[in-house]
């Protein structure tokens, strides 16, 4: 009866009679009074967490949503909810029999407010189909939400204690369960996300990366400082990101180094195939969708974009993408000798720099970006200047120290009668670490350290002979990389 009267007042009388009420001599407008009255009859409040934050093309996954979802997966398991969704998951130990539970649409589960005997909150999941005219991507996907309902008198407790606590627990669960992923920019047919992923199970680590131990230690120290640099980056007001440029001939361990970095940091890898990215907007969208604790990789950067930026004449031009001037024209280099001449580059250098620079300033947290190239001398200085690529790492031909670590790894050999010869030959000829590793790999059950090292000596001697005859100059073409300093 009371609620019917209230309904009558709010729908019929209230708009027609702008009543003012007096309470202890103070005038109260009808609206706050109505709210108070309404609370008498429905004292519950709700808070909704959307899966995506921000609007339109700038939408990105909400960390609050993810953390609460992770927390509720445990609550779900212990609840009496009838309809749950189960997703297969791989644990950090590699076990593939794990399940992660979540609520199906419309399902509700309850949770206790710790410290307030018997006080309960209720969580409900719902999702909305995207509007038909939506343009795809995050905005074109189903919109998922989690809503909490609680008694209004617990508002402070829920906001100041309960939600921060469960978000913290959710974060810990995410880290604990996290199976690292290797993402590639192929749109997922299942989720509509611009990224598809597979489990990242690369066994490459710094222990298995053959290079001079002193240089390796420098890189590991640099990564360690970055990983633990949250306060430093906040204090100096820089985005918490670091750029690495890995350069050197094919087969010298650039991709191996990236895997080792991701394993060391315990980060995901986002591998961007830039030649399939058609505009700045698309690149921005891809980068926005990357998560914290990730290594963003653009391999063979010299083959992926028009490195000459705006300076070259463009054969073709397409209309801009409405980003305020950053060029997205499809370009084909006129200079056919350019490394990118064989590739139609959709991104220009200035486009790439505009997007990445702009993005780091708003969401650059805990990200490493790595560019690799075989031809460092062809890279535009703008691309690799400090602040963009903080550290330039040359992955050169196999030196004696790198060989020694391979011999230890492959045959557990620290010293051998052939080591001196090999050291001398490696100073003379340029052989990639991949080739040295291949010679050290046993090919049959009869192969042992002696036969493998002898095979390596033979291959090195042949290469030395060829070099002396001026026959194989192939490798030498890429040697002039000293103009970029190690930093
Ligand atoms: N420094 C290294 N330490 C250990 N293994 C290496 C090293 N360099 C190369 N290898 C071996 O050679 C293979 C090829 O190396 P990798 O793919 O890392 O070379 P790359 O420099 O990325 O070449 P590209 O320029 O062609 O991409 C690897 O699978 C690895 O087994
Ligand atoms: Mg590679």
Per residue in 107-122, pLDDT (tens digit) is 888 998 876 667 899 9
With H, G, I as helix, E, B as strand and everything else as coil, classify residue 106.
coil
d(CA 452, CA 437): 10
pLDDT of residue 16: 40
pLDDT of residue 422: 95
β-strand partners of 126 = 145
pLDDT of residue 406: 94
Q: What is the pLDDT of residues 248-284, one digit of tens each?
A: 999 999 999 999 999 999 899 999 988 888 888 888 8
pLDDT of residue 58: 63
pLDDT of residue 31: 62
> CA-CA distances (angstroms) from residue 238 to 32, 38, 242, 262?
45, 48, 10, 22
Q: Which atom of ligand 1 is nearest to the CA of 402?
A: 1
- Cβ–ligand 1 distance for 433 under 6 Å, the answer yes
| Sheet of strand 108-112: strand arrangement | 44-50, 143-151, 120-128, 108-112
pLDDT of residue 325: 35
d(CA 229, CA 454): 47
- Cβ–ligand 1 distance for 252 under 6 Å, the answer yes
Residue 36: is it exposed, middle or buried by C-beta count within 10 angstroms (0-12/13-18/19+)?
A: exposed
Q: Name which of 300, 248, 61, 72 is nearest 170 in CA terms.
A: 72
Q: Which domains does the chain have, with CATH numbers?
A: 44-177 (no CATH), 183-394 (3.40.50.300), 400-478 (no CATH)
Q: Where are the beta strands (DSSP E) in 129-176?
A: 143-151
- For the chain, list residues with pLDDT below 70: 1-32, 35, 39, 55-59, 88-98, 115-117, 130-141, 190-191, 306-346, 360-364, 471-487
Pocket test residue of 202, 209, 251, 269 for ligand 1, highest count of atoms within 8 A of CB: 251
Q: How remote is the CA of residue 210 from the centroid of ligand 1, in Å?
A: 9
Q: What is the pLDDT of residues 78-110, one digit of tens each?
A: 777 777 777 766 555 555 566 777 788 888 889
pLDDT of residue 102: 79
Looking at this predicted complex, what is its ipTM? 0.98
Contacts of 441 (CB under 8 A, 6+ apart): 410, 452
Do the Cβ atoms of 58 and 285 come closer than 8 Å?
A: no
Q: Buried b vs exposed e over 315-335: b needs ≥16 C-beta within 10 Å?
A: eeeeebbebeebbbbbbbbee
Which helix (H) or strand (E) is 404 found in, with range? Answer: helix 400-411
d(CA 247, CA 371): 8
Do the Cβ atoms of 208 and 260 come closer than 8 Å?
A: yes
Q: Whose CA is nearest to atom 12 of ligand 1?
A: 434
Q: How remote is the CA of residue 170 from the centroid of ligand 1, in Å?
A: 38
Q: How remote is the CA of residue 51 from the centroid of ligand 1, in Å?
A: 39
Q: What is the pLDDT of residues 57-79, one digit of tens each?
A: 666 778 899 999 999 988 887 77
Which helix (H) or strand (E) is 336 found in, with range? Answer: none
Q: How remote is the CA of residue 299 from the centroid of ligand 2, in Å?
A: 7
Q: How remote is the CA of residue 71 from the centroid of ligand 1, in Å?
A: 40
Cβ-based neighbour number of residue 128 at 10 Å: 11
Pocket test residue of 434, 438, 475, 481 for ligand 1, highest count of atoms within 8 A of CB: 434
**Around 220, how many Cα atoms within 13 Å sit in the side-chain half-sphere?**
14
Q: How remote is the CA of residue 259 from the centroid of ligand 2, in Å?
A: 10
Do the Cβ atoms of 292 and 364 come closer than 8 Å?
A: no
pLDDT of residue 479: 40
Do the Cβ atoms of 30 and 18 come closer than 8 Å?
A: yes
Which helix (H) or strand (E) is 101 found in, with range? Answer: strand 98-103
- Cβ–ligand 1 distance for 434 under 6 Å, the answer yes
Q: Tell the residue number behind the tokens 């090999």, with chain if given.
A: 422
Q: Whose CA is nearest to atom 30 of ligand 1?
A: 434
């Amino acid at each position: 009866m009371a609620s019917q009267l209230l309904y009558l007042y709010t729908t019929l009388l209230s708009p027609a009679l702008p009543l003012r009420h007096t309470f202890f001599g103070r005038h109260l407008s009808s609206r706050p009074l109505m709210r108070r009255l309404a609370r008498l009859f429905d004292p519950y409040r709700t808070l909704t967490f959307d899966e995506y934050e921000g609007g339109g093309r700038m939408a990105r996954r909400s960390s609050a949503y993810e953390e609460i979802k992770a927390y509720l997966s445990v609550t779900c398991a212990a609840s009496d909810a009838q309809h749950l969704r189960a997703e297969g998951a791989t644990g950090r130990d590699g076990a593939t029999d794990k399940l992660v539970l979540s609520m199906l649409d419309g399902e509700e589960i309850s949770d206790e407010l710790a410290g307030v005997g018997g006080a309960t909150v209720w969580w409900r999941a719902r999702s909305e189909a995207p509007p038909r005219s939506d343009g795809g991507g995050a905005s074109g996907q189903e919109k998922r939400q989690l809503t909490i309902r609680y008694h209004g008198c617990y508002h402070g407790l829920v906001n100041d204690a309960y939600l921060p606590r469960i978000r913290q627990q959710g974060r810990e669960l995410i880290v604990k369960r996290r199976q690292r992923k290797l993402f590639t920019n192929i749109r997922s047919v299942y989720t509509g996300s611009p990224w598809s992923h597979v489990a990242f199970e690369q066994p490459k680590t710094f222990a298995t990366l053959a290079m001079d131990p002193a240089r390796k230690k420098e890189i590991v120290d640099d990564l360690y400082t970055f990983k633990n640099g949250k306060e430093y980056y906040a204090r100096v007001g820089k985005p918490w990101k670091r750029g690495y440029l890995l350069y050197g001939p094919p087969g010298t361990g650039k991709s191996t180094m990236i895997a080792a970095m991701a394993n060391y940091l315990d980060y995901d890898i986002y591998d961007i195939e830039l030649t399939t990215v058609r505009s700045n907007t698309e690149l921005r969208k891809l980068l926005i969708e990357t998560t914290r604790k990730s290594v963003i990789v653009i391999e063979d950067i010299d083959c992926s974009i028009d490195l000459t930026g705006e300076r070259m004449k463009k054969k073709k031009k397409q209309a801009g993408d409405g980003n305020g001037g950053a060029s997205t024209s499809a370009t084909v280099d006129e200079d056919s000798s350019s490394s990118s001449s064989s590739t139609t580059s959709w991104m220009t250098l200035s486009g790439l720099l505009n997007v990445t620079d702009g993005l780091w300033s708003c969401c650059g947290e805990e990200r490493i970006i790595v560019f690799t190239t075989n031809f460092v001398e062809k890279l535009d200085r703008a691309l690799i200047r400090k602040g963009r690529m903080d550290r330039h790492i040359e992955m050169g031909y196999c030196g004696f120290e790198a060989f020694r670590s391979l011999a230890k790894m492959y045959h557990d050999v620290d010293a051998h009668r052939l080591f001196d010869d090999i050291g001398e030959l490696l100073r003379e000829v340029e052989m990639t670490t991949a080739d040295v590793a291949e010679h050290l790999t046993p090919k049959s059950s009869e192969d042992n350290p002696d036969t493998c090292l002898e095979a390596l000596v033979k291959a090195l001697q042949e290469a030395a002979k060829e070099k002396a005859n001026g026959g194989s100059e192939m490798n030498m073409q890429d040697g002039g990389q000293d103009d970029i300093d190690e930093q």
